């Protein structure tokens, strides 16, 4: 019988075996003003508490691959027992990650880069297939009657977000990518302008709930076309889930980023102490959260868990 190793069972096992006093460094590309990454860090912090490991979480101030590569290089110089990285741009981070692998540091990737992790020497990846998640979202939005869509990309240059839009186009059909910044005010204005410029747009897919999903819902409301336009978003926020529960948005795509922070740290602590590590990637998503389920996870999202 197949057994699933859950976060709860890991915590029980660790409490029974004692703390794993290891040094683990996490380097992500997440920007400080993005609530998505605060949930990842909450998972990292809980894993540190459960394992007893010394864990350092680092990220550049903005989406900056040069700065992120420098953070990885600095981590390698500290010779940690394990390194967790996100890989939004494999070309830009390849040298830094290879340096860690060549130094014998076990590396686990999370969130982005699952398609390239193995070729970089990464032990395993915790995340979702971004292309497949986009395709699934596109198919569902097409089922809801959509024919013309925009894909709101708030972090241009992030390969994972590009994959989301590509998968969305495969599953949906007629899709135009709308580049924005990660400033919600900018997103709201650009989505509203796109809706005003093209009355055929009946579907909006945002790639981040708080930064792009919530302002996209507001833009649709501003346009007076709430009854004509379906909005969906990757990831969760309490505000976007409230929109789903109220029928103002169709669904959110949950990749369970809390697990993306929690599991890699736990795996690396177990590996350092006992040589234990999963033999393959761990899919943390995607899961579509539609109206019937949205209200149940609003509180967990507000608490920084979902």
pLDDT in tens, 198-211: 999 999 999 999 99
In words, the CATH class of domain 130-254+292-298 is alpha beta
The band of 31, judged by pLDDT with boundaries at 50, 70 and 90, is confident
The band of 267, judged by pLDDT with boundaries at 50, 70 and 90, is very high
**Residue 152 in tokens:** 């709101």
CB atoms < 10 A from the CB of 99, how many? 16
Q: What is the pLDDT of residue 218?
A: 98
- Distance of alpha carbon 51 from its chain centroid, rounded? 23
Q: What is the pLDDT of residue 10?
A: 56
Average pLDDT, the chain: 93
What is the pTM for the complete model shown? 0.81
* 7-128+256-275 and 130-254+292-298 share one fold: yes
pLDDT tens, position by position, 105-160: 999 999 999 999 999 999 999 999 999 999 999 999 999 999 999 999 998 888 88
**Residue 145 in tokens:** 């009657």
Average pLDDT over residues 51-75: 96
Q: What is the pLDDT of residue 158?
A: 87
Q: Specify whether domain 7-128+256-275 bears CATH 3.40.50.2300.
A: yes
- Distance of alpha carbon 198 from its chain centroid, rounded? 30
The domains of the chain are located at: 7-128+256-275, 130-254+292-298
pLDDT at 32 over 90: no
């Amino acid at each position: 019988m197949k057994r699933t190793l859950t976060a709860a069972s890991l915590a029980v096992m660790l409490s029974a075996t004692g703390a794993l006093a290891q040094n683990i460094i996490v380097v992500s590309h997440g920007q400080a003003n993005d609530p998505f990454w605060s949930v990842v860090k909450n998972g990292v912090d809980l894993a540190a508490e459960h394992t007893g490991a010394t864990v350092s979480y680092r990220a550049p101030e903005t989406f900056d691959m040069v700065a992120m590569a420098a953070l990885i290089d600095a981590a390698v110089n500290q010779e940690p027992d394990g390194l967790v990285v996100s890989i939004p741009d494999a070309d830009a981070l390849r040298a830094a990650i290879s340096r860690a692998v060549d130094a014998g540091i076990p590396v686990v990737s999370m969130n982005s880069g699952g398609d390239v992790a193995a070729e970089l020497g990464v032990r395993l990846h915790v995340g979702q297939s971004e292309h497949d998640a986009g395709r699934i979202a596109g198919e569902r939005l097409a089922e809801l009657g959509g024919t013309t869509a925009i894909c709101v990309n708030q972090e241009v240059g992030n390969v994972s977000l590009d994959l989301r839009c590509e998968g969305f186009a495969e599953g949906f059909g007629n899709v135009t990518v709308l580049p924005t910044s990660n400033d919600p005010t900018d997103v709201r204005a650009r989505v509203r302008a796109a809706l005003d410029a093209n009355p055929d747009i009946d579907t909006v897919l945002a790639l981040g709930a708080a930064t792009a999903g919530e302002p996209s819902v507001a833009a649709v409301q501003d346009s007076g076309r709430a009854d004509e336009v379906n909005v969906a978003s990757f990831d969760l926020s309490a505000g976007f889930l409230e929109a789903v529960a109220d029928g103002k948005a169709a669904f959110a795509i949950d990749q369970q980023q809390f697990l993306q922070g929690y599991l890699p740290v736990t795996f690396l602590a177990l590996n350092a102490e006992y040589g234990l590590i999963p033999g393959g990637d761990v899919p943390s998503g995607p899961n579509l959260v539609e109206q019937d389920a949205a209200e149940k996870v609003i509180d967990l999202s507000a608490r920084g868990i979902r």
